Each structure stands twice: as structure tokens, then as C-alpha cells.
Structure 1
Amino acid sequence: MAGSSDCFSPGFKPAPYWWEASPQEPDRQTPLPSSADVVVIGAGYTGLHAALQTARAGLDTVVVDAEAAGFGCSTRNGGQISTSVKPSFSVLKRRYGEDLAVRTLKEGQASLDHVADFVTTEKLDCDFGVVGRFHGAHTSGQYDKLARDCEARHPGFETGAWMVSRDRQRTELGTDAYHGGMVLPRHASLDPGKYHAGLLRVARSAGANIVGFCQVNDLKRTPQGFEVSTSKGTMRAGKVIVATNGYTGPLTPWQQRRVIPIGSYVIATEEIPADTMNRLFPTDRILSDTRKLVYYYRPSPDRKRILFGGRVSLQETDPRKSGPKLLAELVRLFPELAEIRISHSWAGIVAFTFDTLMHCGEDNNLFYAMGYCGSGVGMAGYLGSRVGKVAARVDKDLGAFGDIPFQTRPFYSGKPWFLGPSVAVYRLRDRLGI
């Protein structure tokens, strides 16, 4: 079944599964004001959290988005929340020194806490849960590496992680494809569509004006601030917050040269019998593995489907082509799902960076936060909130990610020509277990 043309269910939709419970808003025909204290470009997690802070500080705040609010990866992700920071403490210490390394990892933990606190404080109904993560080792060598990382704990950012050997693996996951793995108990999950819808409601209640289907075509500095030219008219703005992440383009060329847009693809299966789901997924944990071309997956919040994502293509945008590739990987892990079909298949664009760290900053009242490297569910809201507070001048500190230089490379203009060779190398390394 996997990889064949009949792997789609009769009611298949080439759209995010999350949109079933949280449909995209139609164009409200919201009029564009002529001016604002703050204009936020992008109505995903970053932009809405930033707007919430500026609006609550009393600043007239307008959020614009080229599509419906949340059309991008904020409603297209897998709903997994981690501590976000990919480089290890030793790598960070070598790059930036111990103090900044510790601050960076603490920011990662703070981003995870931020989501939990926000959901609780704002009473969001988004299926949030601290379910933990099982991170599978795709080779025995990777298991040993995970074990060393698990033992090398640093005071100040304990993860509480523990190792699960291969002979005990089925207590976590019904497959023998991994060589054991690590459990990270603090990691969490949510329904991204419901989370975004709740965030949108909270931002509007705070006074933020959200204008969807409003493409920003030009951004110019003026003596008073900025002139923001859009498809619905022109605004004057005292401050601008760029919250475009993987969709960053030539409107902000400095930022565009520093993020690498990468497609991320997800499928949802048709409903699976409860006994099969309980056997394959005895816990509600989110799941990932140690391959360079990582796969991430989980049971749906109602435990009726499997949501399975990964980076299976470079430029493919047709979910009917990326979907069978993901299903083939799912069946490789769980052979008894050979007859299961796909109900939804979709894609989004995430932003990686050259140092695999997220970044935020300010340039004379132009603020930005982006480059979440596939960990944006927690970090986008956290850094958006920090940027919003600094833009509102209720805080002065952007934190560790504002202190780390935002790198680019010579001749890079935002089109990642190097991804093809890199992915080929990573795929070979994964296959060889390197």
C-alpha cells in the first residue's frame, strides 16, 4: 500500500489535519488603518505573541499577514514542544563561553515553560499535555552517544532524562526498528490549530488589530519610523516587528540572508483500531529519532490516528507526492500498518540557521525573531513575547538569542542551493549509520 497511488483514503484532503477542528479564517475584509504604533508582519505564533505584549502595553498594534492568520507553519506543525536548543552544552561552551552557553540552554527550558504557563493563564483549550518524548537511536552507536549525553548533566538545566534499552523499548513504542532511546519527560504536545486559534482570540481581546490577506509589498524607513505598503493600502508605523520565520523574503533582505527555508511534510493516517494504537503507542509520548533527516510523530490527541512528519523532499510541494514517501517510512517502523491509508497530507516551511540556533534582535525600531530550526512551537511564542516586551519598552533584554551573532554565508541570498548536496550526504550517513 505505502508509496502506491491507492494509499489515500476516500475522503483524503491535501490540507493540515488540524484545520478540521480549527478552520482557517476567511477574509474578514478588515480595513487597514492609516497608522499604528507597531506593525507586526506575520500572524503566526511569533507575531501574535509579540502583538499581545505591545497591545497590552497600550500601543496601537496592527498585525498583517499575506494569507489567513496562521496559514503557515503555526498550524502546519506536528504539535511537539521541546526545549528547542539543538547544540549541546559542550558545543555552545566552545563557541560562546560557559556563561552564554548556560544562558542559551536556560532559554530553551524557559520556552517550554512559557507555553505551559500561557495555556494555563489564558485558559486555552488546545489539548496541551506534558507527555514526554521518546528519542529513538537509529544505530547502536547513536544509543551510546545518547547515553553519554544523558549522563553529562549540567547543574541549572537538568532534563530529568533516562535511557530505555532495546530490550525494554516496547514499553515505550511498538517497534524493533530502534536500538533503544532516551526519554525526555518534560517535553509536551498540543493541537497547533487550537493553540493558534486561542492565541488569536487572546491577541484580539488585548486590542491587537489582525488584518489577514494583506501582503506587505514594501517597507521604507522615514524620519518618523516606517512606511508599510501593503495590498490593502499604506500605513505609517513607529515600530515594525518582522515575524515571518520560514516565509522571510526580499522584503527584509538582511534577515532573508540569514535563514534557510526548508520544507517540512506531515501526514495523518485514517483512523486506527484502538487495540492497534495501544500496542504501537502504549504511551502518549511525542517521538523522534537520531537521524540527520529526522522523523517526528505522535498519536493524535484523541489517539485515533498517527501524525507522522519529516523532511522527505527538497522542493516538492504536492502533498500527494510527499505523502506516500512519509507513509513508506511509517510502515518501515511499524510493518503491521502496511494497509493503512492517508487521510491528510500537507507541508509547511520552517527556517533553519547556519548555527542551528534561533535569533532575535533590533535595528533602530525594526525588531525580529526567527530561525527556530524546526522547534518553533515553544520558541516562536517565547521569543515573540520577548521581542514584543522590548518593542513596548517594558523590558530591555532580548536574552541570550539577542546576544549571539546572526550568521550568514558569502554569496547566500536566501535561496539554499546547497540543500541538495547536503541532504544527499545526510541520507547516505543515515543509511550507513554514521
Structure 2
Amino acid sequence: MSSELFTADFKAAPYWWDGVPRPELAPSEPPKQADVVIVGSGYTGLHAALQIARSGRSTVVLDAEAAGFGCSTRNGGQISTSIKPGLAELTRRHGEARAVAILQEGRRSLKWIGAFIRDEGLDCDFRVAGRFHAAHSPGQYEELARQVDNQPKGLAVACHVVPRAEQRDEIGSDLYHGGALYAEHASLDPARYHQGLLERVMVAGAELVPFCPATAITRSGQGFVVETPRGTIQARDVVVATNGYTGPLTGWLRRRVIPIGSYMIATEPLDPALMDRLMPRNRIVSDTRKVVYYYRASPDRRRILFGGRVSLSETDPRRSGPKLHADLSAIFPELATTRISHSWCGFVAYTFDELAHIGRHDGIHYAMGYCGSGVGMASYLGMRLGQQVLGLPEGATAFDGLPFQTRPFYSGNPWFLAPSVLFYRWRDRLAR
């Protein structure tokens, strides 16, 4: 692909980092002892740390990279109700009462994060933008219409269908066949949100130790020993909050999450009149394809941020960028000659049942597997995880005790990803 597709100042790094670079925390040695050690400084780890540190317990947060280096500052900043399986499928698996409770947790997470941002005074461009979920075929539009018209009693959300004839009120494209508008879905700047959360965790007294990976966790009496390259830490409790970056440190968890690279680009600045035509209501957008795309205007409405899965295996952002650009141009032909200013990747974690999981294994607390909906659910379950570590009854969730599935011979390397992507792309193309 010609280098002319990239701007002269192109960065193979998240667009969000321009405004909020990764924090330069002073190098420090981890303490010899702590009440709680948290592995991972993304949304899950920091929300757990905030609960625990504010309770007065000594809290240490370790990260192998800079604070928030992972997908917490690499995502698109969209916030939904976060639960992918519907009521019928969840009822088949877990019974109606548990199914309803799980879906209610998703709705609760959306309301909770908005209240948290407001109450903490976080300056992160949070807005209830609404999400236009576009139908990529006439049949998918009819399915969306059925879903909107038949929402389960007690679980209804604010949404309505948008027929193709009215589609340009929501998005300046004729590619789709109408869609559904979810009015309460929201957006934010993920790096600014992470930075504000990090600052509050540090004010609460937690100690952040970046570039200091946990290399081993072993039982020791009533607690644990956490080994790092800079020494060991004796801890009463350990929390693992590594999501799409879960590795050999915790083999049991690694076998239960599927790391998937989610790729994004940012366009160069667009003419304001063009942006007003393409994204007239400033919605966040997704579509009904199984190999999904998601996109939005940047908070300042100068660029379009576009993400999705574009390769069968993990690849370099310089290679994924042109592929995403081609897909973006198929939606908005006006952008065919628009250049890319940023291209990047972050790893999300899927699970075999498409549900997030929270719990305790061999005494180690964890929450992970947000299946691409991590802004809201990682924040919410991180908060609940902190409450569980503290033994608070309000920490209970509808996810507690769910079987955390794996598959025979799966060790954390998703060898099946490429054939799965091929199959779902084929199915997307055949949709009528």
C-alpha cells in the first residue's frame, strides 16, 4: 500500500495518546508487604484499587508496561449495556431468573459509569451520544425491528428502528439498510477517563508500580507471595485484572480467555461540513455483521475513529490501517482519498460463553472477559471486584459462580481464530 495513504506525521500509536500520553510515574521499588496486590492497571484493576484503597487497606498495583498501556487506552470509547447473548439464549443456559439478572447487570453498568464519572468530576468527554446499530442486510433490519418490538418485559431499553429512508438523519451513508437507535448508549475519551481514574486511585493512597511485571504468585500461609523483577511482596489478597493481556502468570485464567486484536485508525482532520454530513448527530455506530465494525467522530468532531477486525491473524497496525481505510471508504466513499493519521491495536478478551466473568480461583480474585464491551463492564465489575475483596455484600453480582469455560487443548493461543473469522465473513456476505 502506498505511503501516500498515511499523513506525514503518521503515528502507529493510539490517537488518544496525543492528548494524554502514558503517565511517567517515578520509578519505585514495590513494598515488601501489602494488604492487596493488583496485577494490571487498566479499568478493572484501577476500579478495584479505588474501592480497596479508599477502605484504608494498603494496595499495590503492578503493571508490566506503563499504567494503562493496554486496551483501556486503546479502545473506541463506546459504552453500551455490554451483554451479548439475549434473554432466550441466557435462559436456555442458566434459567430465566439468572438470565434476567445478568441482563440487568448490563443495564446497571451503563447507568453506573455515568453516575461515577459525574460524581467523581472526571473530565473525559463523556456524553450520552446514542448508538446507531446499522443493519448490513434487509434481513438483519427485519431482525432488529423484531427485537425492538419484542423487548422482554422489565428489560426494555430506550430504542427505536430507523428505516433506510430515514437513515441519513443518523449517518451519511447508503451502505446500510436502516438500523436501530439505542438512545442511552454513551461515549468518552478512554485515555482521559483512565487518567482521571488513575489520579483518584493515587490520591486514595494506592501505590502504582509500572514496568514491574508479576512473574509468579504462590501461596504463603493465609496469603500470597508475589514475585517481581524488583523483589517479592507479601500480600493478604491478590487480584488479577489482565483481561486481553492474560499470560502464563495465571495459566488457569489464560485457558479461559481468547485474546483478540481489535484494530483502529484515525483519519486526518476533516472539513467540518463533511463531518456534519457523515455523522450528523454525533452517534457512535456499529453494525450487525458478526465481524463487526465500530466508529464515531472524535470528541472534537475533527476526525473519524474507525475500528474492527480486518485480518485473520494478528498483524502490524501499518498493515491493518489500509485495510480498515478500505472498509471505511466503502461506508463513506467521500473518504477514499482521506489519509490516516494514526493506526493502532489493542487486545480484548472474549470468552467461550460470550459473558464476562468475576470470581476467585485458588484464592486469587479476578474479573475479565468483557467481549469487546470493556469500558462499561470492566469499570463496573472492577468496582464490584474491589467490594468482593473487602467482603462487602454489595459486591455480589449475577455473574458470580458462572462456569468459566475452556476447551480441550486450548492453552491461550487462539489457533481457531482465523477459520472462525473466515466463516463469519462468509456468513456476513450471504446475509439477506
TM-score, normalised to structure 2's length? Answer: 0.98
Paired residue for 1:62? Answer: 60
Asked if 2 retains the 8 angstrom alpha-carbon contact of 1:263 and 1:313, the reply is no
AA aligned to 2:384 is R
Which residue in the other structure is 2:419 paired with?
421
What amino acid maps onto 1:187 in structure 2? H
Could you say which residue in structure 1 is the equivalent of 2:264? Answer: 266
Tell me which stretches of 4 or more aligned residues in structure 1 moved more than 2 Å. 314-317, 394-398
Larger CA deviation: 306-315 vs 185-194: 306-315
- Match of residue 361, structure 1, among 354, 359, 362: 359
- Counterpart residue number, 2:39: 41
Deviation at 1:420, TM superposition (A): 1.1
Amino acid at match of 2:413: K
Indicate which of 205, 208, 211 corresponds to 1:207: 205
CA distance in structure 2 between the aligned counterparts of 1:89 and 1:30, rounded to whole angstroms: 48
3-state SS of 2:212 partner = coil
Deviation string, structure 1 residues 46-66 (Cα, Å, up to 9, x no partner): 000000011111111000000
Q: 1-side partners of 2:393 and 2:66: how far apart?
A: 30
Structure 1 counterpart of 2:221, one-letter code? P
Kindly report the root-mean-square deviation, in angstroms, between the aligned alpha carbons of the 2 structures. 1.1
- Matches of 1:274 and 1:72 in 2, distance apart? 32
Deviation at 1:316, TM superposition (A): 3.2
Residue in structure 2 matched with residue 150 of structure 1 by the alignment: 148
Aligned letter for 2:73? T
Paired position in structure 1 for 2:400: 402
Amino acid in the other structure paired with 2:356: M
| Distance in structure 2 (CA, Å) of the matches to 1:158 and 1:31 | 50
Q: Which residue of 2 aligns with 1:223?
A: 221
Give yes or no for the alignment of 1:376 onto 2:384.
no
Task: Say whether the 8 Å CA contact 2:313–2:417 is kept in structure 1.
Answer: no
1:247-292, CA deviations, whole angstroms, 9 ceiling, x for partnerless residues?
0011111111100000000000000000000001101110000001
Offset of 1:396 from its aligned partner? 6.0
What residue is the counterpart of 1:10 in the other structure?
Answer: 8
**Pairing 1:96–2:94 present:** yes
Further displaced range: 149-158 or 117-126: 149-158
Kindly indicate whether the alpha-carbon contact (under 8 Å) linking 1:27 and 1:213 is maintained by their aligned counterparts in 2.
no
Paired amino acid for 2:21: P
What are the ranges of 5 or more consecutive residues in structure 2 without an aligned counterpart? none
Q: Secondary structure at the match of 1:272?
A: coil
Question: Within 2, Cα distance between the matches of 1:420 and 1:277?
Answer: 35
* CA–CA distance in structure 1, aligned partners of residues 361 and 338 of structure 2: 51
Whole-Å separation in 1 of the counterparts to 2:325 and 2:318: 11
- CA-to-aligned-CA distance 1:303-322 (integer Å, 9 cap, x gap): 00000000112433311100
Aligned partner of 1:138 in structure 2 is 136
Corresponding letter in the other structure for 1:225: G
Counterpart code for 2:409? F
1:217-238 deviation line (CA, Å, top 9, x unaligned): 1111111311100122110111
Distance 1:421 1:403 in 2: 31
Retained in 2: the 8 A contact 1:360–1:398? Answer: no
1:194-240 per-position Cα deviation (integer Å, ceiling 9, x unaligned): 00000000111111111111111111111131110012211011100
Residue by residue over 1:354-399, the C-alpha shift from the partner in whole angstroms, topping out at 9 and shown as x without a partner, is 0000000013541000000000000001001001001012236431
Identity %: 59
SS in structure 1 of the partner of residue 249 of structure 2: coil
Q: 1:353 to 1:145 in 2, by over 3 A?
A: same
Q: Distance in 2 between matches of 1:362 and 1:316?
A: 30
5+ residue gaps in structure 1? none
The equivalent residue for 2:323 is 325
Secondary structure in structure 1 of the residue aligned to 2:195: helix
* Contact 1:360–1:370, Cα closer than 8 Å, also in 2: yes
Residue 410 of structure 1 aligns with an amino acid whose one-letter code is P
Structure-1 separation of matches of 2:249 and 2:123 = 35
Amino acid in structure 1 at the alignment position of 2:190: P
- 1:22 is matched with which residue: 20, 23, 35? 20
| Aligned counterpart in structure 2 of residue 349 of structure 1, from 347, 350, 370 | 347
Quote the Cα distance in structure 2 between the aligned partners of 1:131 and 1:27: 33
1-structure distance, mates of 2:394, 2:328: 46
Q: Which deviates further from its counterpart, 146-155 or 332-341?
A: 146-155
- SS in structure 1 at match of 2:106: helix
Counterpart code for 2:222 = Q
155, 159, 162: which one aligns with 1:161? 159
Deviates more, 1:424-433 or 1:288-297: 424-433
Amino acid at match of 1:409: R
Q: Report whether the alignment pairs 1:182 with 2:184.
A: no
One-letter code aligned to 2:288: T
- Take 2:69 and 2:155, find their aligned partners in 1: how far apart are those partners? 34
Q: Distance in 2 between matches of 1:339 and 1:292?
A: 27
TM-score of the pair, normalised by structure 1: 0.98
Alpha-carbon offset, residue 159 of structure 1: 1.0
Structure-2 separation of matches of 1:18 and 1:30: 26
* One-letter amino acid matched to 2:66: A
Which 10-residue stretch deviates more, 126-135 or 393-402? 393-402
- Equivalent positions of 1:69-108 (< 5 A) are 69-108=67-106
What code does the residue aligned with 2:30 have? L
Q: Which amino acid aligns with 1:263?
A: G
In the alignment, which residue of structure 1 is the partner of 2:255? 257
Deviations 1:1-24 (A, max 9, x none): xx5432101110100000011101
Aligned residue in 2 for 1:244: 242
Alpha-carbon distance in 1 for matches of 2:278, 2:132: 13
Q: Figure out how many residues of one structure are paired with residues of the other and give that number.
A: 432
